[in-house]
Amino acid sequence: MNYPKIKKAVFPVAGFGTRFLPVTKSQPKEMLPVVDKPVIQYLVEEAVQSGIEEIIIVTGRGKRAIEDYFDQSFELEHNLVEKGKTDLLREVLEIPNLAKFIYVRQSVPKGDGDAIMQAFNIVKDEPFAVLFGDDLVVHEVPAIKQLMQVYEQTGSSVVALTEVLDTELSSYGVVNVKDFKSANLEITDLVEKPKTRAEAPSNLGVIGKYIITPEVLAVLNDLYKKPIISGELRLADALKLAVNSGVPVYGKLIEGERFDTGSKLGLIKATIDFAMRRQDLAPELKEFLKRYV
């Protein structure tokens, strides 16, 4: 079957970034650097390398730096031309041309599901990708592309999965699947942030990357129209409801190394790993790290 191609990606980035305070007091957590690029640029590149053409960023107050970053910067470009710094100039010029960027605002941070609903009129009835601002995956096949490959076979929504330690399950949405041995894992239940190991149906946790079909968006839209009792509308609520009402949703155990840049340790690990892949930094960094090990 030929299912519609996925050309749009929604980035809900309006959260406060409380885990990184105080640095996130006046700067979006998505702009924190891994070596010399902000986390969000790696995610935009992941989407673009997967075939996405339009990036819809759902921002909020205090997130202007993201818009400025993906815009042109005439003074800087002029300065780099004058100084003859052509390599840096090329790099800077590439950023606004990575994709078509669209910005919508979420006035009150009422959850990632509410954020996605701010893009409802832009995605309309097309399937689309969702990338939360936290998870970097290093693999020759970008993580979103891995999800698209399952979508292309099933025509269904797909969530990214990773194996999670028992002690960390309570921070994740945890899935149950029809057949753990099957190549395409059909999800039968989703327990958001299980309080105990016994409540978790498996050790497979959802990481913040999704393909969302119009069927699941319709479920989210129904929830959006109702009063939100908890104060937040989460994508996980819609996915659980969809699965429980028979809408097919698949999981993909993501290949590659994953860094949770939403945690301090994860960001430090990503920084070291990415720096160690760079010839200009690796030799000296390796020497330096010997002090600690």
Least gap, CB of 7 to ligand G1P (angstroms): 24
Say how far apart CA 208 and CA 193 lie, in whole Å. 14
Is 252 near ligand G1P (CB under 6 A)? no
> Binding to ligand G1P by residue 208, rule CB under 6 A?
yes
CA angle 49, 258, 119 (to 5 degrees): 55
Shortest spacing between CB 202 and ligand G1P, in angstroms: 13
DSSP state of 281: T
Query: Binders of ligand G1P among 179-198, rule CB under 6 A?
Result: 192
Secondary structure (3-state) at 17? coil
Of 13, 129, 207, 270, the residue at the interface with ligand G1P (CB under 6 A) is 207
Q: Is 114 in the site for ligand G1P (CB under 6 A)?
A: no
Residue whose Cβ sits closest to ligand G1P: 173
Site membership for ligand G1P, residue 17 (CB under 6 A): no
Tell me what percent of the chain is helix, strand and coil, each rounded to the nearest 5.
Answer: 40, 25, 35
Nearer to ligand G1P, 10 or 207 (CB): 207
Q: Of the ranges 76-84, 178-186, 201-209, 274-282, which one interacts with ligand G1P (CB under 6 A)?
A: 201-209
Cross-strand pairs, 34: 37
- When binding is defined by CB under 6 A, the residue of 133, 142, 173, 251 that contacts ligand G1P is 173
DSSP 195: S
The answer to whether 39 and 69 have CB atoms below 8 angstroms apart is no
CA distances to 33, 38, 67, 200, 214 from 260, in Å = 13, 14, 23, 21, 28
Q: Is 10 in the site for ligand G1P (CB under 6 A)?
A: no
Q: From the centroid of its chain, how far is CA 254?
A: 13
Q: Does 134 bind ligand G1P (CB under 6 A)?
A: yes
Is residue 205 part of the contact set for ligand G1P (CB under 6 A)? yes
Query: Which residues contribute to the site for ligand G1P (CB under 6 A)?
Result: 132, 134, 172-173, 192, 205-208, 234, 236
